[in-house]
A and B are shown apart, each in its own frame.
Chain A
Amino acid sequence: MSPTTTLTKATCPYCGTGCGVLIESRDRQIIQVKGDPDHPANFGRLCTKGSTLHLTAADTVTRQARLLTPLKRSQRDQPAQALSWDAALGEAADRLAAIVREHGPQAVGFYGSGQLLTEDYHVLNKLVKGLLGTNNLDTNSRLCMSSAVAGYKATLGSDAPPACYEDFDHANTLFIAGANTAWAHPILFRRIEDARQARPEMKLIVVDPRRTETAEMADLHLAIQPGTDVALFNGMLHILARDGLLDDAFVQQHTNGFDELMAVVRDFTPEHVARTCGIAQADLELASKWFGAQTPTLSLYCQGLNQSHRGTDKNAALINLHLATGQIGKPGAGPFSLTGQPNAMGGREVGGMANLLSAHRDLTSEADRAEVAALWGVREVPSQAGKTAVEMFEAAARGEIKALWIACTNPAQSLPDQATVRKALETAELVVVQEAFATTATCAYADILLPASTWGEKDGTVTNSERRISRVRSAVPPAGQARHDWAIFGELGRLLEQRLPERRAHYLPGTQTLFPHESPESVWNEHRESTRGRDLDITGLSYALLETQGPQQWPMPQGASQGQARLYTDARFPTADGRARFALVQHEPVKEACDARFPFSLNTGRLRDQWHGMSRTGTLGRLFGHVAEPSVELHPEDMARLGVLAGELVQVSSRRGTLFAPASADAGLRCGQAHMAMHWGEEALSGVDPHGQRITGVNALTLPDFCPKSKQPELKHAAVSLARADLPWRLLALAWLPLERALAVREQLKPWMGAFAFTSCVPFGRETEGGGEVGLMLRAASPHAPEPGVVAQIQALFGVDGADVMRYDDPSTGQHRAVRVEHQQREDAPAEAASLRVQAFVLAGDTAAEAWLRPLLQDKLPADAFGRALLSPGAQPPVATEARGKQVCTCFNVSETAIVEVLKRCEGGVNERLGQLQSELKCGTNCGSCLPALRKLAQAAT
């Protein structure tokens, strides 16, 4: 490390694990990131996403993908023009104030993010609820954690995950329900693997309709039918009661509502439940036995329970199990909700949601509202619950909400029922997008774009799944003119105070402004004060203490020397009578039953190497090594029935929308089920549906119906139809492009993504710190060849034009093939490789040549032997080639082919073989995210 290099402790901006990172920076440029060995969440480890963070902060990415200046569109669908911060915020404030004056505060909606810092949240909360006087403030946490919040509150009395990561090491039964931890929380899964290594007797039960990599690892996998979680949990409670495995004393002394619940649970007989869930009765019995007898039992759960129109009940039903068995408040026990986002917890603490108030206060409680008003120095805060995420956009689509202020999230990608979301964005009179990245689908709808700082630049705090507050520190100044979100909200607040004197009239005497803050710490201190005496009391904590003693778990009241690892150790719960409540939960089927017209159940979920809408992870080719491009996964038998082969296009339709996607086989699905990654928004997967509408990615299909208690939509199930797509004309374009240009080219391609029925566009390859090149791939398909010239323009964008390009053109049949070969030796190419390489190609019409041409380019294989045959059609390689095979280990770029080769020579059990693999190929020795996959391959080899 050179003397000029500085090291900054911060937190990873991705999932809710909240891993500590060490950022190396030099000359205002982030150059490297490592896991923080002292951080209690990850102890130095990082997953594939976290360990590539520095690459997403490379200046090539910043220049091409970041929002660097305030921008304004004088008209929608016009290119945005740069303007000064004063002009941008001034106009935003003017128009917002005008709308508030004319239509009242309920005509304004603020939509934030679980990726905002606690400090951002606090200022935003005061701005919306304190100044404007509306609760129309919600965030994408609504799509993520609100069922967990409601579930905890309904049973334990407060939104507080009682357990901690250390409990992995004490649990004898680990019950993972509706979570693919191996992919969604890789570092936690590393810790689970370690715990199982240390104590092989620990049982792992995984509840998931899909056989995920997490389920692969389980001692028992319960592949229940979608939406039958409550039936399963009630059925387990039935069996536990039958077998006398309940903790009667605990139930007696510390809970209410047990008998009422048992009256319900009585009907959930094992036979009935096994049939409802579609699992073997023996498995149900075994799961119950382990849960109740092989204690302590720790449950981990995530979107499988949360993203449901009965999400609160699913959470509560699982918590019921822990209360009935007394598996809570002790090491290795508890219902532990894993958060999806890095600071969904912080948002919940601040109360930055439409139905929450500061520090777990209740919007419906007059006393709570009064406390908050007093803390803020206003007469009152609004009592009427605000519009939650889905409601907010539906109201905007109806024209009731006239101004949408969107910060740090991409609703045009992530919200269900995109047709309505797009209508909302088009209908709203004012759309302001406060974003770090200029590339999101939502940015295209903004009247005003405000550049926000992001990871590596931001300064503040986040809270992870185990209630642990960590500092986020800035290693480099914000890019371009970007500003911190809390500062933007604060400035907007001050401008609105000037423009809305009638609102300031609600301030208490002596309150000059709600936005006096000059630093994140001053904001945080204000928030801290609001927690005094609450269950999440952190009055004993300070920035200084976080500095000296590192991340701390709440509560940490004044006088406490450190945070609290577990809650409810004394079995006293934050309810009126100190007792937990059993929730009366009935099983209700999924909202949209499959029927003859829409016979398949579409599930959505995370990929291992991607994050949300991919505005950050999507900038790196190397994060597409694990899953290369959008697809809809189906059971091989369903594919056979539909008559589609892997890679062939299917039309996926729901009652709300349609998309086209390549099919890929996943035997881990049950027949009748389909799965798509949640990440594939319009930015990566688009086209034009049969009605001429632009295809908006996976959420064109999902349904907006939400849980009546948590208002969280059912993103995990939509009834869809599947049919082989009849789009004979195909286009496939691949190119290696310089890092300086690749992302810009991708943006230039976006208009073309609406020019065909199906389009997908993703990067590939392996960026290195030293610059170099990255790959870009565009796929398209349509019923017939496009206008003459279209192909030529796409060829030009991929650099496959000009004099030195090999081309084959049969215009009258729409067949065009063009290949650019180059004569250089790449240092990252195998030394024995010859000098001629395929640098780029565009196949149009018949793209069957992809079978050999694509590996030729992507694996940088020698192309000398091909000559003009590079232009030949058909899947049969004109010259024999050997592809590298699918990448398994992202960190060391190890392919499945190589792994299988080595495994042939390996001996011993799975772990021995794994060890030999790791020593020979280094795969799985860095972030470890591929370990489940490696173990699976090793297993297959034994």
Chain B
Amino acid sequence: MTKMKLVMVGNGMAGVRALEELLKIAPDLYEITVFGAEPHPNYNRILLSPVLAGEQTLDEIILNPLKWYADHGITLHTNKRVVHVDRRRRVVVAEDGTEAAYDRLLIATGSNPFILPVPGKDLDGVIAYRDIADTNFMIEAALTHQHAVVIGGGLLGLEAANGLMLRGMRVTVVHIAPWLMDRQLDEVASKLLQRSLEERGLSFRIGAQTQALIGTADEGRSGRVKAVRFKDGTEVPADLVVMAAGVRPSTELAEKIGLHCNRGIVVSDTMQTITDPRVYAVGECAAHRGIAYGLVAPLFEQGKVVANHLAEFGIGRYGGSQVSTKLKVTGIDLFSAGDFMGGEGTEAIVLSDPIHGVYKKLVLKGDKLVGACLYGDTADGSHYFKLIREGLSIRGQRDRLMFGETALA
């Protein structure tokens, strides 16, 4: 008998993990075809920062070498962007005309960096930070240029800034919010982070609003970028500008083929698009219960559910994820999870140890831990994350909670 056909658009971590899960439970159910816009097999995007920082090489971060696709009889089309899907004929069409028919379609197109709509955003030397190409571009730039500006003091921006600094550039991080990583840290932890990054040599413009990027030619309107100008009129020199001001789910294709999108391709708890049950979406492009996750852990959880349904088990349900953050800047340990900012009906326990540069905040609601923000010592992060995820009662442990799993008698 002929196998069913599964086509996956996108060759990133979420999608390929879904395939791996599928192959584990139903190795022979599908004939699988994968389209990837990048020229590479699936690699670990999260490790681009260590690569930029020179701590790892590209080959080291490849997750699934071409051999893996071959071994599992997967047809892989790299460098082929999918431009159309005929949902009636159930055919996928790539920009070079390649076609592939499907019984099930899995959309895993990930996300696109958000590019600030400011004059000069298209100048040479202005890039986003998303893939291996961007990473290579930055490594090149670091060899030939001196001044870098990273716009966005979030996880990605700080990792980029750190990498560029380690490659010898003078880096300024521009952040519009009142403190760095404002989505992942409270102010105290963020200030500790900023201090230690400044000690490492990074400069910051906190709360600064970028007005324009200035080019070398045509009165700054073209050529290579040479400076960033702020609303207050001040400028910082920049031969390289990295946009790290967040990402947007990549939904052009989905919208074009009429799938309902709302800050991501809207999916159910089975990760099926609510528009077409044959079509699944997973990863950063999918909007589940209004949330498009940008971190790897939830995407892997989604992958399990997708695989379960593709394998026709029909019992997996995705109920959303608690997310936790770690910054991959060597020597800086920070961790946050859940409702670390606290607020109505919550109570906070705070430990600070300036001598060893440690700050810990635990947020409780009733007898449950609902949030944690750790800086300087994240050893207990996973312990707290487990308590948060599983909503376990900490009754009778409250006074020792701060001192970690080992302290709990």
Q: Which residues of A contact B (CB under 8 A)?
A: 803-813, 815, 821, 846, 867-869, 871-874, 878
Contact = CB atoms under 8 A, between A and B. Distances in A.
Q: Which 6 A-B pairs have the closest CB atoms?
A: A812-B347, A810-B349, A808-B351, A806-B353, A873-B399, A872-B403
Given A868-B356, A868-B358, A807 B351 contact: yes
B398 interface: yes
A806 B352 contact: yes
Contacts of B403: 868-869, 871-872, 878
B1 interface: no
A805 B354 contact: yes
Given A808-B350, A809-B350, A821 B355 contact: yes
25 contacts: A804-B354, A804-B355, A805-B354, A806-B352, A806-B353, A806-B354, A807-B351, A807-B352, A808-B350, A809-B349, A809-B350, A810-B349, A810-B398, A812-B347, A815-B399, A846-B399, A867-B353, A867-B356, A868-B351, A869-B403, A872-B400, A872-B403, A873-B400, A874-B399, A874-B400
A811 to B, nearest CB: 8
Contacts of A872: 400, 403, 407
Interface in B192-246: none
B202 to A, nearest CB: 22
Given A806-B352, A867-B353, A868-B353, 13 more contacts: A806-B353, A807-B350, A807-B351, A808-B351, A808-B402, A810-B399, A846-B399, A868-B358, A868-B377, A868-B403, A871-B353, A872-B407, A873-B400
A879 to B, nearest CB: 12
A834 B350 CA distance: 28
**Chain A contact residues, majority secondary structure:** mixed
Contacts of B354: 803-806
Nearest to A873: B399
A813 B399 CA distance: 9
Contacts of B347: 810-812
Interface in B299-352: 347-352
Contacts of A871: 351, 353, 402-403
Contacts of A807: 350-352
A685 B216 CA distance: 78
Contacts of B355: 804, 806, 821
Contacts of B402: 808, 871
Contacts of A809: 349-351
A810 B350 CA distance: 7
A810 B352 CA distance: 12
A765 B4 CA distance: 84
A7 B358 CA distance: 57
Contacts of A874: 399-400
Contacts of B353: 806, 867-868, 871
B185 to A, nearest CB: 19
Contacts of A810: 347, 349-350, 398-399
A873 B348 CA distance: 17
A782 to B, nearest CB: 19
A782 B349 CA distance: 22
Interface in B360-400: 377, 398-400
Contacts of B356: 867-868
Interface in B263-322: none
B192 to A, nearest CB: 12
Nearest to A836: B355
Contacts of A868: 351, 353, 356, 358, 377, 403
Contacts of A812: 347
A813 B355 CA distance: 26
Contacts of A869: 403
A874 B353 CA distance: 19
A872 B355 CA distance: 16
Contacts of B377: 868
A828 B358 CA distance: 31
Nearest to B403: A872
A161 to B, nearest CB: 61
A873 B399 CA distance: 7
Contacts of A846: 399
Nearest to A845: B399
Contacts of A821: 355
Contacts of A811: 347-348
Nearest to A809: B350
Residue with the greatest number of chain B CB neighbours at <10 A, chosen from A803, A867, A868:
A868
Residue with the greatest number of chain B CB neighbours at <10 A, chosen from A803, A812, A821:
A812
Contacts of A813: 398-399
Contacts of B407: 872, 878
A807 B348 CA distance: 14
A728 B399 CA distance: 15
B163 to A, nearest CB: 31
A788 to B, nearest CB: 13
A846 B398 CA distance: 12
B409 to A, nearest CB: 8
Nearest to A821: B355
B113 to A, nearest CB: 38
A873 B351 CA distance: 13
A89 B24 CA distance: 101
A804 to B, nearest CB: 5
B196 to A, nearest CB: 15
Nearest to A822: B355
Nearest to A802: B354
B401 to A, nearest CB: 9
A812 to B, nearest CB: 4
A804 B353 CA distance: 8
A495 B259 CA distance: 107
Contacts of B350: 807-810
B379 to A, nearest CB: 11
A821 B400 CA distance: 22
Nearest to A876: B409
Nearest to B347: A812
Nearest to B352: A807
Contacts of B398: 810, 813
A806 B351 CA distance: 8
Contacts of A808: 349-351, 402
B41 to A, nearest CB: 44
Residue with the greatest number of chain B CB neighbours at <10 A, chosen from A805, A807, A810:
A810
B134 to A, nearest CB: 40
B139 to A, nearest CB: 39
B407 to A, nearest CB: 6
A870 to B, nearest CB: 9
A622 B355 CA distance: 31
A812 B400 CA distance: 15
Contacts of A867: 353, 356
A874 B398 CA distance: 12
Contacts of A873: 399-400
A838 to B, nearest CB: 12
Contacts of A803: 354
A869 B403 CA distance: 8
B301 to A, nearest CB: 33
A807 B358 CA distance: 11
A809 B349 CA distance: 6
Nearest to B377: A868
A420 B397 CA distance: 49
A811 B347 CA distance: 8
Nearest to B364: A812
A403 B350 CA distance: 56
Nearest to A848: B399
Contacts of B358: 868
A806 B358 CA distance: 9
A846 B400 CA distance: 12
A876 to B, nearest CB: 8
B339 to A, nearest CB: 16
A791 to B, nearest CB: 14
